């Protein structure tokens, strides 16, 4: 694609991610203030505030509805979409699964492979991969008896987390202080797992892997201070070359592409990789406002330009604090 050709980006399941839409619009505005492309948003609800930031908005069915992907294909044709991405985990696999179909429409899927999206969504798959490749991570069990044996052997202790094997946004996660609670939780839901409680500093890493070169070109790390509904509410930026090296090694071995968000714990000076979201995380605005403009990196790639690495190119000690705002519209 030529550098002067218009780029139109489709953001699926926009929800409350107003900043993501705003940042893409800025990336598609040149130095003279002229727009070089459009941002189109979708959501299943007309009361998703982020869609009103976009240049155009489509209300679509739930992503699990029959024919959903055909609705997205129709939008791509109508709006001459250049690239598509989603802001929710379950939809990432759907996009990756249909990457070839999007390609026939001239649309680039901004994301990782189907296999990696599925591994990232399935916490036991991710645990198994991390253990097989020698990374430290929280001990995880789907077999309760194996978990109880580990407790009896002194390999781990309460409290622990009980969570869905496939889940996102911290939905249905419970902290269990004893065996009775674990039993109760397993009796009321299927496909659960028990995970070791890591007592340490939670860290978020916003990472961009160039879609053309496959090289990691941007890493932003932040210590999470306050969490709400699975997203970072307050955080402070920091840099550590040891952590950057760990992220480079992990991402390169796994083979992620585009934007990813990594959850990490630091326990007594040791880093543990927890989870990966192959998308923009809720705390990404912190990275952007500190100078890590991943929307610009995406636009460069869509124009056929490879990005030069700028890992850790930001100031430490910058705090992000989210706050509530409102949008008023006549429906």
pLDDT digits (tens, 9 = 90+) for 276-324: 999 999 999 999 999 999 999 999 999 999 999 999 999 999 999 999 9
What value, to the nearest 5°, has the Cα angle with vertex 220 and ends 217 and 226? 155
| Whether residue 229 has pLDDT greater than 80 | no
Candidates 92, 114, 272; CA nearest to 195 is 272
In three-state form (DSSP H/G/I as H, E/B as E, the rest C), the secondary structure along 179-209 is HHHHHHHHHCCCCEEEEECCCCEEEEEEEEE
Q: What does the pLDDT look like over 161-199, one tens digit per residue?
A: 999 998 765 566 899 999 999 999 999 888 999 999 999
Cis omega (within 30 of 0) for bond into 159? yes
DSSP output for 126-187: HHHHHHHTT-----EES-HHHHHHHHHTTS--S-EEEEESB--TTTT-EEE-SHHHHHHHHH
Dist. CA 73–CA 10, nearest whole Å:
11
Record the tokens describing residue 123, joined without a space: 């916490």
Q: What is the pLDDT of residue 121?
A: 95
The confidence score (pLDDT) of residue 331 equals 85
Q: What average pLDDT does range 229-255 have in this prediction?
A: 94
Condensed to tens digits (0 to 9), the pLDDT of residues 72-89 reads: 999 999 999 999 999 999
pLDDT at 150 (0 to 100): 96
Helix, strand, or coil (residue 74): helix
C-alpha to C-alpha distance for 85 and 100, rounded to whole angstroms: 15
Round to whole Å and give the CA distance between 317 and 314. Answer: 10
pLDDT of residue 169: 58
Confidence of residue 255 (pLDDT cuts 50, 70, 90): very high
Q: Which residues pair with 108 in a beta bridge?
A: 83
Mean model confidence pLDDT for the chain: 95
Q: pTM, whole model, 2 decimals?
A: 0.94
Is pLDDT above 60 for 1?
no
User: What H or E segment, with its residue span, contains residue 301?
Assistant: helix 294-302
What's the confidence (pLDDT) of residue 171?
Answer: 65
Instruction: For residue 231, give the 3-state DSSP assignment.
Output: strand
Q: Is the pLDDT of residue 126 over 60?
A: yes
Model confidence pLDDT, tens digit, residues 49-69: 999 999 999 999 999 999 999
Q: What's 307's DSSP letter?
A: P
Q: So what's the pLDDT on residue 232?
A: 81
Tell me what pLDDT residue 231 has: 77
pLDDT given for residue 211 in this prediction: 98
Residue 64 has what pLDDT? 95
Query: Cβ(261)–Cβ(277) under 8 Å?
Result: yes
* pLDDT on residue 4: 64
- pLDDT grade for 39, boundaries at 50, 70 and 90: very high
Pair of tokens at residue 301:
């790639």
pLDDT over 70 percentage in the chain: 97
Residue range 253-274: mean pLDDT, rounded: 97
């Amino acid at each position: 694609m030529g550098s002067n050709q218009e780029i139109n980006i489709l953001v699926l399941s926009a929800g409350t991610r107003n900043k993501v839409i705003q940042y893409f619009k800025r990336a598609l505005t040149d130095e003279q203030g002229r727009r070089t492309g459009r941002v189109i948003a979708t959501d299943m609800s007309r009361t998703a505030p982020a869609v009103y930031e976009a240049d155009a908005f489509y209300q679509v069915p739930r992503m699990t509805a029959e024919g959903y992907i055909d609705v997205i294909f129709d939008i791509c044709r109508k709006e001459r979409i250049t690239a598509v991405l989603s802001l929710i985990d379950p939809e990432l696999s759907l996009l990756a699964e249909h990457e070839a179909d999007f390609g026939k429409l001239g649309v680039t899927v901004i994301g990782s492979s189907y296999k990696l999206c599925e591994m990232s969504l399935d916490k036991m798959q991710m645990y198994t991969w991390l253990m097989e490749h020698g990374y430290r991570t929280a001990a995880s069990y789907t077999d309760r008896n194996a978990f109880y044996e580990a407790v009896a052997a002194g390999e781990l202790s309460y409290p622990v987390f009980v969570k869905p094997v496939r889940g996102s946004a911290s939905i249905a996660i419970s902290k269990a202080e004893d065996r009775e609670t674990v039993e109760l939780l397993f009796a009321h839901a299927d496909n659960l797992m028990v995970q070791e409680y890591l007592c340490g500093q939670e860290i978020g890493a916003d990472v961009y892997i160039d879609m053309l070169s496959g090289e990691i070109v941007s890493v932003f790390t932040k210590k999470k201070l306050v969490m709400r509904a699975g997203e970072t509410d307050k955080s402070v930026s920091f840099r550590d070359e040891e952590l950057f090296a760990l992220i480079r090694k992990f991402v390169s071995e796994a083979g992620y592409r585009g934007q990813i968000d990594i959850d990490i714990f630091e326990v007594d000076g040791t880093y543990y990789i927890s989870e990966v979201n192959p998308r923009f995380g809720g705390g990404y605005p912190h990275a952007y406002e500190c100078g890590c403009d991943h929307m610009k990196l995406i636009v460069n790639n869509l124009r056929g330009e490879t990005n030069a690495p700028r890992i850790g190119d930001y100031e430490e000690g910058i705090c992000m604090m989210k706050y509530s705002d409102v949008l008023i519209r006549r429906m």
